[in-house]
């Protein structure tokens, strides 16, 4: 049976000052803002940022006392809060965890079932809080990090050859620069298929 886990989607960082953290990642490191929200019930805010072609982080911040982040921030001052893994099927993942006697919690569905999640406590995941979620990555990304027009590739001429952008199954895109000779070889191989 194939693993239901598709990939690491993002690393979440809890911070004392979300504005300062966003400035660091956006203005200094060049991250692109994607989806964000404020949850008044759980008293926190989140902002997904895309770095480069495929890497993402999420900045978490408390919006008022009583947030689930309070204890973490008081004890640690901030840092990596959890890692999010994407699954193709949350029910299959839960069955796999039950089969191996690995407990999970926080079985939730959000945003009209655009996001289904569970968590594995750090004591059962080697010191890391694991969030496992079923979702479509493109729903959470900025248009700046997607190929326009629902295409899976885009080709652009460059001074030395060409750049091929490919849509990634995890959302976003990757870029591949090819010399003129590499582009010719690729075209020949594609025609031979």
Looking at the structure, tell me whether residues 164 and 115 fall in a common domain. no
pLDDT at 129: 97
* CATH code of the domain in which 39 resides: 3.10.180.10
Q: If we measure between CA atoms, which residue out of 152, 150, 115, 167 comes closest to residue 10?
A: 115
Cα pseudo-dihedral 87, 92, 97, 100, rounded to 10: -130
Number of separate domains in the chain: 2
User: Is the separation of the CB atoms in 25 and 10 below 8 Å?
Assistant: no
Q: Same structural domain for residues 36 and 106?
A: yes
pLDDT attached to residue 52: 78
At 40 the pLDDT is 94
Q: Are strands 161-167 and 173-179 parallel, antiparallel or unpaired?
A: antiparallel
Q: What span, in angstroms and rounded, lies between the C-alpha atoms of 143 and 32?
A: 10
> Of 96, 112, 140, which residue constitutes the final position of a domain?
140
* Residue 150 CA to its chain's centroid (Å): 19
Asked which of 96, 117, 140 is the last residue of a domain, the reply is: 140
Are 74 and 154 within one domain?
no
- Shared domain check, 153 and 122: no
SS3 label, residue 71? helix
Residues 34 and 67 reside in one and the same domain? yes
On whether both 19 and 39 belong to a single domain, the answer is yes
Q: Which domain holds residue 75?
A: 5-140
For residues 54 and 119, state if they share a domain. yes
Judgement on whether residues 98 and 165 belong to the same structural domain of the protein: no
Are 72 and 113 within one domain? Answer: yes
Do 115 and 41 have their domain in common? yes
The count of residues in the chain is 193
- pLDDT tens column, 85-135: 999 999 999 999 999 999 999 999 986 768 999 999 999 999 999 999 999
* pTM (2 d.p.): 0.82
- On whether the CB atoms of residues 67 and 42 are closer than 8 A, the answer is yes
Alpha-carbon distance of 120 to 170, in angstroms, equals 22
What is the rounded average pLDDT of the residues 149-163?
Answer: 89
SS3 141: coil
Pair 59, 88 in one domain: yes
Q: Whose CA is closest to 124, among 108, 105, 141?
A: 105
- How far the first Cα of the chain sits from its last, in Å, is 30
User: Residue 111: what pLDDT?
Assistant: 67
Do residue 99 and residue 178 come from a single domain? no
104, 118 Cβ separation under 8 angstroms: yes
Q: Of 92, 74, 78, which Cα lies nearest the Cα of 4? A: 92
């Amino acid at each position: 049976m194939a693993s239901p886990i598709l990939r690491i989607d993002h690393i979440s960082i809890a911070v004392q000052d979300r504005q300062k953290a966003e400035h660091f990642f956006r203005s200094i490191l060049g991250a692109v803002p994607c989806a964000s929200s404020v949850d008044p019930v759980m008293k926190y805010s989140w902002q997904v940022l895309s770095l480069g072609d495929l890497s993402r982080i999420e900045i978490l911040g408390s919006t008022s006392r009583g947030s689930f982040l309070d204890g973490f921030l008081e004890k640690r001052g901030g840092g990596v809060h959890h890692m999010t893994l994407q699954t193709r099927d949350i029910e299959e993942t839960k069955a796999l965890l039950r089969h191996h006697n690995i407990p999970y919690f926080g079985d939730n569905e959000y945003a009209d079932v655009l996001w289904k999640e569970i968590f594995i406590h750090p004591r059962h995941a080697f010191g890391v809080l694991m969030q496992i979620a079923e979702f479509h990555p493109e729903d959470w990304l900025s248009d700046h990090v997607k190929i326009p027009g629902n295409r899976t590739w885009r080709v652009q001429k460059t001074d030395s050859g060409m750049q091929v952008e490919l849509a990634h199954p995890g959302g976003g895109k990757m870029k591949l620069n090819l010399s003129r000779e590499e582009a010719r070889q690729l075209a020949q191989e594609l025609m031979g298929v």
